[in-house]
Structure 1
Amino acid sequence: MTSTSYHPLSRTLLLLPALALVACATSGRQEVASKDMAVFDQLRSSEHRAADDDLLTGGLGLDGLRIMVPPAFADAQAPTPAELRRRALWSSWRGIADLAPGGGYAELYGSVARVPGREFHAHARVPGANQPHRVMVQLPDAFDADEPCMVVTASSGSRGIYGSIAVAGAWGLPKGCAVAYTDKGAGADYFDLDAQMGHRADGTLAGPDGGDALAFVPDAPAGASGIAFKHAHSKDNPEADWGRHVRQAAQFGLNVLNQAYPDRNYGFDDVRVIAVGVSNGGGAVLRAAEDNDDWLDAVVAGEPNVLVNGVRPLYDITTEAALLMPCALPVLGIPPVPYADARCATLKAAGLVNGDDPAAQRQSAYDTLRKGGWTDDALRAASMNVAFDLWRGIGATYASAYGRYGVDGHPCGYRYAVQDAQGRPRAATASERAAWWSEGSGIPPGNAIALLDPKAGDGADPAFAGLTCLRALWDGQDSDANRVRKGIAELHSATPRPGLPVIVVHGSDDGLVPLAFTSAPYVAAAKAAGREHVRFWEVRHAQHFDAILGLPIYAAQYVPLLPYVYAALDRAWAHLDSDAALPADATIDPIPRGAGKPLDLRNLAIPETPGAASVHGVANESVHASP
């Protein structure tokens, strides 16, 4: 059974240890811990040591995580915090890792070993932010107070606080490290505008009279209806603060350690701190690496969404892809979506492609994407984004965040609501609301919430007008476009702190965050700036979503990226632990397992030795899988 304690004086209880760091600071690092000190609200702690519960999987283990249906709620309309937590763990694991039999998880790589310990949650806020971000620390019973280590991480995508459990938790907790998490200002803290209900710190629902106890209360106009969520409607542009979110999570980790071990008075120079994340979480830890204060010991970033000055930003390539890919992808032999020819025709009418017939228009769309930097491998993997309409969902959310628009303020008119069978907005049911926090990805549509497009027409390509509006927020000249571009300009990364070991891992087939626009220019810029401790592993036949490898068609073509992220963490740990050399830059050439075959370590070709060759202008070795 889970034991949970609530502390109404959480602000005071958590601020005092931080103040102690200020009073006792004797080194540069301890002063760093207090320089940008956060105040942590809504402290919630719980124990996870029962036979049917633990920190890593909530007691589900591999078999429980593999079950296709989520862990049940005894009362679907009013689940308990423990039930919400277990379902959130189940959902977060399944959204990141390939857990399917034959995929190799927990057999060839990774861990779902039972880890007993304590969990601590709070809300933190960067100065000037309208909304808090969630922070969490998992403290395993095996934590070694004499050799303390902490892994700090940020959720992938826009996921909730458990969104990096399969990345940081799976590696750090079995080693006995504390793991500190942030949802980096996004997450599934949805707010039902019709019922006027949002999520408390423990995931349960309450009205706005809950005050600071709610993780997100939107600034909404009177009479607003539908669903609001933090990433789109906080008015904060959270991506601009990702590095600060990560640092505050680490500060919360120190506070927790000093409460758990009051005789230690830990500062950052007393604890080994490694940051790791994938996707948006990878971008977040790279932003934290920019901090010249010496609080981080190493960073591993998988498939990071990171923006380098002079490189096309994600919003640019996303809105272009949303328009052109449905028309272009058949050139690569990919089966067309039902509206492909209609999209080619609307693109032609808008002057965005050339050609007098669908074949010529497809070639024109394809040529534009290739000239813009897309590779064929990335385009093939991106076909799933077209099939699942991900580009539109991402574009609508990020435009709202970059422009700091609130509810009903989106310049293209997009809104979110639950729909009835005829596609009309309706009120959410109590059971639908109750499941959002545990199951939501942080970006609707999904979990019964739909993306409503007021510009949608009745023709064969109803989404085109809305997508054109999203694109105009990047290449247009009106005040809304200027507002969105201003938000994007706040995202540019800098090089990491000199001497900080950084390992970047990215799949060459990534069709969501292509490495040509992210990791490759980031590493090149770091190398050019003399950052000699930056390393890059490019993994061929790896795309963005390990979780989809549970589908046989994808499992046959692609390898998972997580084994390489874990291996990079191992190499970083060895470097810190015994001064072992950092791995060389590498182009890794694994062999996908093929149809109906289980994954074997020989498929992966994980690097072990340095060498020399060339990739993206930096020295590297080529590592090939065994046939």
Structure 2
Amino acid sequence: MRREGLYLGPDDRLVDSCYGDGMNRTVIHGCGVLAALLLGACASTPRGSEKPVMSDGLVSEIRVTRHEGADDLLSAGLGLSGLRGSVPAFADAQAPTPAELRRRAIYTSWRGIADLGPLGSYGEIYGSVPLVTGREFSAFAKLPEARSPHRVLLQVPDLFDRDKRCVIVAASSGSRGVYGAISLAGAWGLPRGCAVAYTDKGTGSGYFDVASNTGVRLDGTRTERGVEMLEFAPDGDETPGPLNAVLVKHAHSGDNPEASWGRHVIQAARFALHALDQAFPDQAPFTAGNTRIIAASLSNGGGAVLRAAENDANLLDGVVAVEPNILAGDGGRALYDYVTEAALLTPCALLEPRFDDTPFARVNGAHPPAWVTRCATLHERGELTADDLQTQAAEALARLHVSGWTDAALRNVAASTALDLWRAVAVTYAAAYTRTAAGPMPCGYGLAGMDPGTAPRLATPAERAAWWSDASGIPPGAGVGIVDDMATGDDASWPGVECLRQLWGTQDALGQRLAAGVEATRAALPRADLPIIIVHGQADGLVPIAFSSDPYVRWLEANERHPVLWRVEHAQHFDAFLAFPGFGDRHVPLMPFAYAALDRMWAHLFAGEALPPSRDIATTPRGSGPLGAVQLGVP
């Protein structure tokens, strides 16, 4: 059975916590602090009132939990069938247990990334979800200059190979919580006997609710600010906005976490070695010299592992980055630049007839009325010169072509446009880059409890309780919506997104802060001898390969680095979208190629095989039937 709330004593033996049974037990490791001091603090000091002394930037206790039977490491006991099923329920919707929250967080992380649809063939021709028992070590860590912590978590399988020591370290995809890359790093590493380390890289779903003055504990449950350390809470002297405001760490921490994503990954790798010392004291020490460490993740996490390669102090042995959001040191386009451009132009450009059969481009056979209105707005604002709708759409498309968008990418932006993803990203990142913290967000935006299409309201207790497990880290979603104070007129979202776009390149104080924030995310060169494999879909419409991986690899090659780049035909950004009607039949998943890249990196590091060459990988869209291996052509 699962044992939760163990105390890792100063002699590295697992003993009972000194907290009573009626309290939520935790794990504490003193890292050199005398046992008497630790025990004295535990007996006489209110929980969370003192910061434990930790190594490598840890600022919380280390919580150790055991996972077996119906609550394993990889799927929290759900297995593939459970991950394909309905969302796991809470016994008490307003007070879920840590185990229930963990299970649902893992479920949400799998479902947000992998294609688990009935035609996707996950678990049949690629991937698997075996039962993997073991322990989890979790803590809050902090960079020296950061205002808020980030989560670090190490999964140690019982089948950990102590003779062939390996750690896979992954940053969460998107702005997701700490399990955000489990379908890649966990699914590949845990069954192989590797420990898997994760970090939320300063983002995550530990939302702070102003009305209740609550945030998220280390175990995922909620408590009031000031009781103990939270995943995120505004500083005491900050004005957190209206009573219904919801604050998210990515936007409101004031840290611009993207600038430090690589350092978050390195800190997670060091935490992994530290926790392995505690997990296997007879085998300690675990070091970069005797443990292979592969950094691997996707999307924003893919950018984070590439950034970790810049200054890793020889800690990493290899990097596998999948569809990375990366801004090359020379060339490429910043995410904020092309996202705000897309927010303005794609609704109109997608009315061009070549996109008529694109999923989400039509609703009940007709174009979304808001997209037609956007063409009219662009014309009224002098952005488009044509008078008729079809020519306006062609003109908007031509502008996107000039700035580097390809039709392969644009065929996959309709979903992002219809789901309001462009605005969601721009709102969050504008606040992060300008470091507005808990103060007013740029362009009059805010986040609050909200039903789709309705006015802001207070979040319900059940919504608050589920944020850590259910939210993606970037609203809208999980009962939190975007408040737009500039919304007006027939094209209500236009004033706000135009304001966000105008911040790019302006010379006022806020625009300069945004430019500095974006520039801080620009990549530096990785270590010259570090093996790197990058996998990117040629049809990626969210992080287009033309703006990210292609210029990044050209820059590396111009500076005598030798990365491997696999450019996968018919692969787009969200494998999870392949379960939507009209998506899976014209695409292939990217995850099989990500697993294959890890296989090749493993063979290189452990068997001395040469790295594969860079290549464009030809694939065949899935069609109306189940995906077959012959359609992939995995190297």
Residue number in structure 2 paired with 1:238:
257
Residue 293 (structure 1) shift:
1.7
Q: Within 1, Cα distance between the matches of 2:228 and 2:431? A: 24
Amino acid in the other structure paired with 1:236:
D
| 1:293 lines up with 2:313 in the alignment | yes
Residue number in structure 2 paired with 1:3:
3
Tell me how large the CA RMSD over aligned residues is.
Answer: 1.7
* 1:48-85 deviation per Cα after TM superposition (whole angstroms, max 9, x unaligned): 01x21100000000110001x31111111100000000
Residue 419 (structure 1) shift:
2.6
Amino acid in the other structure paired with 1:320:
E
Q: Within 2, Cα distance between the matches of 1:6 and 1:261? A: 16
Q: In the alignment, is the contact (CA less than 8 A) between 2:134 and 2:157 conserved in 1?
A: yes
Residue number in structure 1 paired with 2:623:
594
Q: Within 2, Cα distance between the matches of 1:159 and 1:474? A: 26
Q: Within 1, Cα distance between the matches of 2:58 and 2:464? A: 29
Q: Within 2, Cα distance between the matches of 1:144 and 1:496? A: 29
| 1:555 lines up with 2:584 in the alignment | yes
Residue number in structure 2 paired with 1:71:
88
| Matched residue SS, 1:119 | strand
* 1:201-220 deviation per Cα after TM superposition (whole angstroms, max 9, x unaligned): 111010002232x1111234
Residue 40 (structure 1) shift:
4.2
Which of 309, 322, 338 in structure 2 is aligned with 1:317?
Answer: 338
Q: In the alignment, is the contact (CA less than 8 A) between 1:57 and 1:90 conserved in 2?
A: yes
Q: In the alignment, is the contact (CA less than 8 A) between 2:440 and 2:446 conserved in 1?
A: no
1:40-439 matched pairs, under 5 angstroms: 40-49=59-68, 51-67=69-85, 69-212=86-229, 214-219=230-235, 220-221=238-239, 224-225=242-243, 226-263=245-282, 264-291=284-311, 293-308=313-328, 309-331=330-352, 332-334=354-356, 335=362, 336-419=367-450, 423-439=454-470
* 1:387-438 deviation per Cα after TM superposition (whole angstroms, max 9, x unaligned): 1010000000000000011224212111111136882222111111111100
Q: Within 1, Cα distance between the matches of 2:115 and 2:611? A: 28
Q: In the alignment, is the contact (CA less than 8 A) between 2:234 and 2:240 conserved in 1?
A: no
Q: In the alignment, is the contact (CA less than 8 A) between 2:210 and 2:240 conserved in 1?
A: no
* 1:591-625 deviation per Cα after TM superposition (whole angstroms, max 9, x unaligned): 01211x11111000012xxxxxxxxxxxxxxxxxx
Residue 550 (structure 1) shift:
1.2
Amino acid in the other structure paired with 1:439:
D
Pair 283,43 (structure 1): closer, same or farther in 2 beyond 3 Å: same
Q: Within 2, Cα distance between the matches of 1:333 and 1:97? A: 26
Higher share of residues assigned helix: 1
Amino acid in the other structure paired with 1:224:
P
| Matched residue SS, 2:561 | coil
Q: Within 2, Cα distance between the matches of 1:411 and 1:339? A: 24
Moved more, 202-211 or 313-322: 202-211
Pair 471,197 (structure 1): closer, same or farther in 2 beyond 3 Å: same
Residue number in structure 2 paired with 1:566:
595
Stretches of structure 1 that go unaligned for 5 or more consecutive residues are 18-35, 608-627
Residue 14 (structure 1) shift:
5.4
Q: In the alignment, is the contact (CA less than 8 A) between 1:6 and 1:44 conserved in 2?
A: yes
Q: In the alignment, is the contact (CA less than 8 A) between 1:2 and 1:82 conserved in 2?
A: no
Q: Within 2, Cα distance between the matches of 1:14 and 1:306? A: 37
Which of 515, 536, 545 in structure 2 is aligned with 1:506?
Answer: 536
Pair 512,566 (structure 1): closer, same or farther in 2 beyond 3 Å: same
Moved more, 487-496 or 216-225: 216-225
| Matched residue SS, 2:586 | coil
* 1:553-609 deviation per Cα after TM superposition (whole angstroms, max 9, x unaligned): 1110110000000000000100111111110111001101211x11111000012xx
| Matched residue SS, 1:268 | coil
Q: In the alignment, is the contact (CA less than 8 A) between 1:321 and 1:391 conserved in 2?
A: yes
Residue number in structure 2 paired with 1:479:
509
Pair 148,292 (structure 1): closer, same or farther in 2 beyond 3 Å: closer
Pair 508,6 (structure 1): closer, same or farther in 2 beyond 3 Å: same
Pair 421,12 (structure 1): closer, same or farther in 2 beyond 3 Å: closer
Pair 276,450 (structure 1): closer, same or farther in 2 beyond 3 Å: same
Q: Within 2, Cα distance between the matches of 1:183 and 1:16? A: 27
Q: Within 2, Cα distance between the matches of 1:11 and 1:112? A: 28
Amino acid in the other structure paired with 1:234:
S
Q: In the alignment, is the contact (CA less than 8 A) between 2:27 and 2:63 conserved in 1?
A: no
Pair 420,244 (structure 1): closer, same or farther in 2 beyond 3 Å: closer
Residue 102 (structure 1) shift:
2.4
**Structure 1 segments of 4+ aligned residues over 6 angstroms from their partners:** 8-12
* TM-score when normalising by structure 2: 0.90
Residue 486 (structure 1) shift:
0.6
Q: In the alignment, is the contact (CA less than 8 A) between 1:11 and 1:41 conserved in 2?
A: no
Moved more, 286-295 or 196-205: 286-295
| Matched residue SS, 2:77 | coil
Pair 371,52 (structure 1): closer, same or farther in 2 beyond 3 Å: same
Residue number in structure 1 paired with 2:11:
none
Q: In the alignment, is the contact (CA less than 8 A) between 2:6 and 2:27 conserved in 1?
A: no
Amino acid in the other structure paired with 2:169:
V
| Matched residue SS, 1:209 | coil
Q: Within 1, Cα distance between the matches of 2:439 and 2:240? A: 11
Residue 37 (structure 1) shift:
3.2
| Matched residue SS, 1:369 | helix
* TM-score when normalising by structure 1: 0.91
Residue number in structure 1 paired with 2:21:
none
* 1:480-528 deviation per Cα after TM superposition (whole angstroms, max 9, x unaligned): 1111111001011022211111000000000000000000011111111
Amino acid in the other structure paired with 1:514:
P
Pair 11,288 (structure 1): closer, same or farther in 2 beyond 3 Å: farther
Moved more, 233-242 or 466-475: 466-475
Q: In the alignment, is the contact (CA less than 8 A) between 1:14 and 1:39 conserved in 2?
A: no
Pair 435,404 (structure 1): closer, same or farther in 2 beyond 3 Å: same
> Alignment length, in residue pairs?
583
Q: In the alignment, is the contact (CA less than 8 A) between 1:503 and 1:535 conserved in 2?
A: yes
Residue 12 (structure 1) shift:
7.3
Residue 11 (structure 1) shift:
10
Amino acid in the other structure paired with 1:4:
E
Q: Within 2, Cα distance between the matches of 1:97 and 1:283? A: 19
Moved more, 541-550 or 493-502: 493-502
1:616-627 matched pairs, under 5 angstroms: none
Amino acid in the other structure paired with 2:400:
L
| Matched residue SS, 2:178 | coil
Pair 422,249 (structure 1): closer, same or farther in 2 beyond 3 Å: closer
* 1:532-553 deviation per Cα after TM superposition (whole angstroms, max 9, x unaligned): 3x10000010000000111231
Residue 86 (structure 1) shift:
0.4
* 1:452-474 deviation per Cα after TM superposition (whole angstroms, max 9, x unaligned): 100001x3210000000100111
Pair 222,182 (structure 1): closer, same or farther in 2 beyond 3 Å: closer
Residue number in structure 2 paired with 1:618:
none
